[in-house]
Structure 1
Amino acid sequence: MDVFVTGGTGAIGAAVVKRLNGEGVRVIGLARSDTAAEMLRASGASAYPGDLRTPESWVGRAASCDAVIHTGATFTEDMGRVDRQSMLALKQAARHRKQPLKIVYTGGIWLYPAVTGTRLITEKTPFSPLPAFRYMTETIRTLSNGTDLNLAVIHPALVCSRSAGPIAEMTAALGKGVPFETRATPDTLWPLVEADDLAALYALALRQPRFRMSLIASCIQGISVAHLASHISARHGLQLDIETQPVPENANLDTDWRAGYALSQSVDIQHARRATGWQPEHSTIEDLVVALSR
């Protein structure tokens, strides 16, 4: 199987590339720079030169593969426009294939609303995205229309690895002896997923014959920021304090990506497991904190 991956050097994409290589998949990664190309080759992937901003330079190669995994994003003011244009160009490039092109598109838990009480977010919960991520719902709708693509959308919870995500950020603050600064309050609930576990779900989604699949990827249903901080404090024998930060006065809602940390969310973790056979290794907060604190 040949799989084209965008964002293959990012937090999610790098884990996906590693996972697919381990399963014997031939991975071709989109490389915007020589540095990115070197990182991809070091991980066992091939590097294809191109940029999300100029999809005409790479969508033909991507559409010739068995599948495409899209984890790339510019995180610039025009992120939404770039994403929509690149995915539309990919859809057009796939029109003349004999079989529909498999695309695994990365959505996000912040496309869903905050929840209260005992309610859980499920794949059937209507989208209510933060302004900065509204473009994703439009892109998903575009990719879902027609029969040229076999679409799976994965909505990751807050992704955690040893170098990125809430646990890494909390641990870094603890090591510096400073409070953990966040938009969340101590009672805010965060669903979490470990990066390698998430990559395993992407690999499983590639092999599903089902058309238009939507999966919420979370190992931890929802843990309060205070509870998470207490686990990290206990692991290191130090006290981690939480400092809630206000929304910056000059914040532009259309590019305020960190606003998602203020959302209190609890999610159904069962559907992705039932639909794909996914069995994440880090299914408790204890497992997650220990694994990422070694």
Structure 2
Amino acid sequence: MNVFITGASGWIGSAVTDELLANGYAVTGLARSDESAAALEKKGVEVHRGSLDDPASLAAAAKAADAVIHLAFNHDFDNFAAAGQGEHDAVKAMLDALEGSGKAFLFASGTAGASGAVPGTATEDDPSPFHGRDSMRGGAENLALGYAEKGVRPVALRFPIVHGRDGDPGFVAYLAQVARERGVSGYIGDGAHPWAAVDRTDAARAVRLALEKAPAGFRAHVVAEAGVPTREIAEALGERLGLPTRSVSPEDAGAHFGWMAMMFGTGTRATSEITQRTLGWTPTGPTMLDDIAAGAYDV
């Protein structure tokens, strides 16, 4: 089976690519730069040159593949609305190319916005509240899941914070950077806001299992830890980096944390019991605090 992966050279995508290759899949990876193309070719990945800004090219690559895993996203926090609109257009182009084929279309989504029977806790049964091209991430989850009635097997991959020890460029790394720059490891308010989390290798294995086992319309919660309190994250970073830990008031959070303030001050709690049972997936990797303590975010 040949799988077309967008974001194949990214933080999550590179681990998914390795997981698929190790399990006998052929992979075609989207590459925007020469550097990304070279890294993919070194792994034995067939390269499709292009970008998320070229829906027609994405559609052609999707149609030529046996399945699609869409993990790329334009994280432009200065123009997040445009990034969401671009996501909508890219997803729709690939889905239209797959219509009636019965092929799988797995795509990165998130746990934010849905809450379950336990207030503030997202479960797989909770639909995304975002609809339409102008909504969060272009309403791509609801758009894609609607293609289950059009001969496609769409699967939402709801990722929380994905951490790891191999050069994580994401949210925890940003918090560590802010702590070093400010000379203090901060959290907002009482620091009770939870961050759902998963180790990168566990996430990659869950994606492969979702490709193999998830039914059409499934919302996979790629979650190992339901919610790590932000105060504990700040304390772990402070201890590891040799910095004091203190609370930052909500009023000062924007100045202290920048674009991260809203996310860090809100948090998301999510469970994955249905995903673990459906996919036969059991997270076994280190926790977020384990990775911090091991020095994953020292530099």
Q: Are 1:88 and 2:92 an aligned pair?
A: yes
CA 1:135–1:237 in structure 2 vs 1: closer, same or farther (change >3 Å)?
closer
Gapped regions of structure 2 (runs ≥ 5): none
TM-superposition CA deviations, 1:249-288 (whole Å, max 9, x none): xx9xxxx676323223222132221110112122645544
Q: What amino acid sits opposite 1:58 in the alignment?
A: L
What is the CA-CA distance between 1:239 and the residue it aligns to? 3.8
What is residue 12 of structure 1 aligned with on the other side? 12
CA 1:193–1:179 in structure 2 vs 1: closer, same or farther (change >3 Å)?
same
Q: Are 1:247 and 2:254 an aligned pair?
A: yes
Contact 2:75-2:83 at 8 Å conserved across structures = yes
Match of 1:228 among 220, 229, 233: 233
SS of corresponding position for 2:154: strand
SS of corresponding position for 1:51: coil
Match of 1:210 among 215, 220, 223: 215
What is the CA-CA distance between 1:6 and the residue it aligns to? 0.4
Match of 1:101 among 100, 103, 106: 103
Contact 1:186-1:242 at 8 Å conserved across structures = no
Contact 1:161-1:194 at 8 Å conserved across structures = yes
What is residue 162 of structure 2 aligned with on the other side? 159
Match of 1:79 among 83, 108, 113: 83
SS of corresponding position for 1:207: helix
What is residue 35 of structure 1 aligned with on the other side? 35
Q: What amino acid sits opposite 1:109 in the alignment?
A: T
Contact 2:160-2:197 at 8 Å conserved across structures = yes
Equivalent residues in 2 for 1:1-294 (5 A)?
Answer: 1-76=1-76, 77=79, 78-95=82-99, 97=101, 100-112=102-114, 119-128=120-129, 134-136=135-137, 138-145=139-146, 146-162=149-165, 163-164=167-168, 165-172=170-177, 178-180=183-185, 186-208=191-213, 210-234=215-239, 236=240, 238-242=242-246, 244=248, 245-247=252-254, 259-282=262-285, 284-285=287-288, 287-290=290-293, 293=296
TM-score by length of 1: 0.82
Moved more, 8-17 or 157-166: 157-166
CA distance in 1, matches of 2:110, 2:292: 22
Q: What amino acid sits opposite 1:42 in the alignment?
A: K
Aligned-pair Cα RMSD in Å = 3.3
CA 1:228–1:53 in structure 2 vs 1: closer, same or farther (change >3 Å)?
same
Q: How many residues align?
A: 284
Q: What amino acid sits opposite 2:19 in the alignment?
A: R
Q: What amino acid sits opposite 1:247 in the alignment?
A: G
TM-superposition CA deviations, 1:37-87 (whole Å, max 9, x none): 112223332211112111212322222211100011122432122111111
Contact 2:88-2:140 at 8 Å conserved across structures = yes
CA distance in 1, matches of 2:31, 2:122: 35
TM-superposition CA deviations, 1:223-243 (whole Å, max 9, x none): 111112333445x38344256
Paired-residue identity, %: 21
CA distance in 1, matches of 2:288, 2:73: 28
CA distance in 2, matches of 1:286, 1:258: 20
TM-score by length of 2: 0.81
What is the CA-CA distance between 1:291 and the residue it aligns to? 5.5
CA 1:89–1:192 in structure 2 vs 1: closer, same or farther (change >3 Å)?
same
CA distance in 1, matches of 2:271, 2:34: 41
CA distance in 1, matches of 2:36, 2:182: 34
CA distance in 1, matches of 2:295, 2:43: 21
